[in-house]
Amino acid sequence: MIDIQNYIDGTLRAPVNGEYFDNIEPATGKAYARIPDSNEKDVEHAVAAAERAFPIWSGMSTAERSAILMRVSEGINAKLDELAHAESKDNGKPIKLAKSVDIPRARDNFAFFATAILHDENAMHDMGQNGFNYTLRKPLGVVGCISPWNLPLYLFSWKIAPALAAGNCVVAKPSEVTPMTAFLLSSICMEAGMPPGVLNIVHGYGQSAGQAIVSHPTTKAISFTGGTSTGKIIAGIAAQQFKKTSLELGGKNANIVFGDADFDEALKTSVRSSFANQGQICLCGSRLLIHRSIYTKFRDAFVERVKALRVAPPHLETSQVGAVVSEAHRNKIEAYIELAKEEGGTVLCGGKRVVPDAPFNNGYYLEPTVIEGLSPHCRTNQEEIFGPVVTLMPFDDDDEAVAIANSTPYGLSSSIWTHNLNRAHRVAEKLDVGIVWVNCWLVRDLRTPFGGTKASGMGREGGFYALEFFSEPKNVCIHLPRIE
Ligand code: TXE
């Protein structure tokens, strides 16, 4: 058993209360590490260390900060294999995915923000003869970053990298379900020469360690990715203290395939957008809307491909669908499959557990599941399932597709598949979401705004949007008196 430690003031430490809880490997259902059960005392130490470090870190030149963050990026790259194995073990995702997406992306997040600050500009508003304004952008001070379990190091770094790059000191908490790669990052930061207290990582449960970060009067902003109900709690606490919040919450995204789409490409990508990471990505297209003219052909081809997906222990290079993240989460997904049946849905494939050979026979494996015949307004089509479950719905025209797509409380992303350029632009404009992909899915440019509308959250991450969130503009007005 590995004992995970908090990273506070540049050192690895046990939690103040000495308490730990088990870290379960989803592939086997067995505990393999212990997680600090930190509370407000650990958070207090972390905030105090961050406060002490702030003048040092914010006082560095951007070039100095950039160099340290680049070394963190290089450190992640040097340990790519080790981190990918750790991520796969902790989360249940196929090792191939961790190696090709999660860890490279964590590396790139640090490099992206480390270099972004070298190219940043501030605004100047000219008043002509009367003078001018210039706008300073100052770091906020100590900020909190709270991340989820589905893309652990990827989303952790997506928050802490811009926060640090902008000159803030950070108290961060990874998900208690997948803390391992954040723990490994602690040593990488030490080796990179990050001054003590600049980044502090406190492990533990959301209601204790997480909420202590949100409630602490010294944390000036909270960047959170997780469930919508947790987002509501965080927004409520933060609002009382006028804290900035960036909330990236759930999704129930529509993947819309029109009759004129490139059939093969739409098919191939739709399998991926439905089931990548066991369907546990907020951007997954969990509702597949198919034009009636191609519905039967597309459905049959889709189901055939889904049946061919290999559900297997994640350490195998051939695994395409690994284990879902926890027993509780598997139970939640299974309850939604039962609900779908009660609501009149037909399960076209999947819906059952997969039991690999020992020692993986107690892992949390589910078949990729395809369901049709449900109303767009039923609970299965309105609530986030966040697992390997996709529903299929036919539509007759563009307006109906948009109406179904927009009918949920969520508004994160959508994909449109069509060769008709006018339709693509028209539909993209009408979709009430933060991100639209045309003839693709999850193609990412780190400069673009990332986030959703409605119950999918508030604010945008990415590029200068994130750097703006983690800084405070201060306008300086210079009046030029007339020379007589
Ligand atoms: O998330 P939580 P859970 C959705 C998905 C999933 C559901 C619940 O539908 O089934 O949310 O997942 C911390 N104060 N998404 O329960 O609890 C927690 O410790 C401060 C979508 O795992 O929101 C963890 O670090 N922090 C999502 C983080 O919040 C608190 C990704 C997220 O956990 C806290 C994950 C509190 N009171 C789940 N309570 C996405 N948008 O990608 C919990 N936390």
Q: What is the CATH number of the domain that holds 339?
A: 3.40.309.10
- In this structure, which residue's CA is closest to atom 8 in ligand 1? 227
Among candidate residues 25, 87, 176, 248, the one labeled active-site is 248
Whole-angstrom CA distances from 51 to 112, 156, 188, 223, 250 are 25, 21, 22, 18, 32
In a domain? residue 13:
yes
The separation between CA 266 and the C-alpha centre of its own chain, rounded to angstroms, equals 24
CA–CA distance, 165 with 417 (Å, rounded to integer): 37
Contact 326, 25 (CB under 8 A): no
State which residues form the domain around 461. 2-249+456-475
CB neighbours (10 Å) of residue 136?
A: 12
Whether residue 449 is contained in a domain is answered as no
Residue 106 in any domain: the answer is: yes
In short, whether 173's Cβ falls inside 6 Å of ligand 1 is yes
Do both 244 and 376 map to the same domain?
Answer: no
Q: Answer whether residue 84 is part of any domain.
A: yes
Q: Quick one: 225 and 332 in the same domain?
A: no
Q: Where are the alpha helices (DSSP H) in 396-462?
A: 398-405, 421-430
Q: Which two tokens stand for residue 327?
A: 């027993």
First to last CA, the chain: 80
CA distance 392 to 319: 25
Do 51 and 146 belong to one domain? yes
pLDDT score for 227? 96
- Quote the tokens at residue 338: 């039962």
Nearest alpha carbon to residue 347 among 409, 303, 394:
303
Q: How confident is the model at residue 482 (pLDDT cuts 50, 70, 90)?
A: confident
Which pLDDT tens digit goes with each residue over 366-385? 999 999 999 999 999 999 99
Does 444 fall in a domain?
Answer: no
Strand partners, 392: 288, 372
Q: Is the pLDDT reported for residue 85 higher than 80?
A: yes
Point out the ligand 1 atom lying closest to the alpha carbon of residue 211. Answer: 14
Strands (E), 155-243: 169-173, 199-201, 219-225
Band of pLDDT at residue 1, cut at 50, 70 and 90: confident
Task: Assess whether the C-beta atom of 234 lies below 6 angstroms from ligand 1.
Answer: yes
Mean pLDDT of the chain: 98
Ligand 1 atom at minimum distance from 155 CA: 42
Q: Is pLDDT of 192 > 90? A: yes
Give the mutation target among 230, 232, 243, 410 for probing the ligand 1 site: most ligand atoms within 8 A of CB: 230
Q: How far apart are the CA of 225 and the centre of ligand 1, in A?
A: 7
Residue 179 inside a domain? The answer is: yes
User: CATH number, domain at 67?
Assistant: 3.40.605.10
CA–CA distance, 4 with 174 (Å, rounded to integer): 12
185 & 289 share domain = no
For ligand 1, whether the C-beta of 386 sits within 6 Å is: yes
Tell me: do 67 and 211 sit in the same domain.
yes
pLDDT at 484 over 90: no
**What pLDDT score was predicted for residue 483?**
81
Per-residue b or e along 342-368, where b marks 16 or more CB atoms closer than 10 Å to that residue's CB: ebebebbbbbeebebeeebeebbbbbb
Token pair belonging to 114: 């480390």
One domain, residues 104 and 19 = yes
Cβ-contact 422, 400 below 8 angstroms: no
Closest Cα to residue 416, out of 303, 295, 279, 257?
Answer: 257
**CA-based nearest residue to 165, from 154, 173, 157:** 157
What is the arithmetic mean of pLDDT over 174-199?
A: 98
**Six-digit token pair at 12?**
């690895």
pLDDT score at 311: 98
Do residues 434 and 463 both lie within one domain?
no
Rounded mean pLDDT of 126-130? 95
Structure confidence by residue, pLDDT tens digits, 329-346: 999 999 999 999 999 999
Residue 171 above 90 pLDDT? Answer: yes
The sheet carrying 369-372 orders its strands as 346-349, 369-372, 389-395, 287-291, 254-257, 413-417, 435-438
Closest atom of ligand 1 to 281 CA is 42
pLDDT-above-70 percentage for the chain: 100
* pLDDT given at position 454: 97
* Three-state DSSP state, 174: coil
Give the containing element (helix H, strand E) for 335: helix 327-342
Same domain, 352 and 240: no
Task: Tell whether 379 and 233 lie within a shared domain.
Answer: no
Question: What is the distance between the alpha carbons of residues 383 and 408, in angstroms, rounded to a whole number?
Answer: 8
> Are residues 240 and 366 both part of a single domain?
no
Q: Is 282 tagged catalytic? A: yes
| Within-domain flag for 447 | no
Looking at 282, 334, 367, 384, which residue is catalytic?
A: 282
Assess whether 201 and 320 both reside in one domain: no
For residue 171, give both structure tokens. 């108290």
Whether 92 is in the pocket of ligand 1, judged by its Cβ within 6 Å, is: no
What domain count does the chain have? 2
Does the active-site annotation cover 304?
no
Element (H, E) at 93: none
Q: Verify that 314 and 389 share a domain, yes or no.
A: yes
Rounded Cα distance, 101 and 340, in Å: 31
- 446 is a domain residue: no
Residue 407 has pLDDT above 80, yes or no: yes
37 lines ligand 1 (CB under 6 A): no
The model's pLDDT over 236-283, given as tens digits with 9 standing for 90+, comes to 999 999 999 999 999 999 999 999 999 999 999 999 999 999 999 999
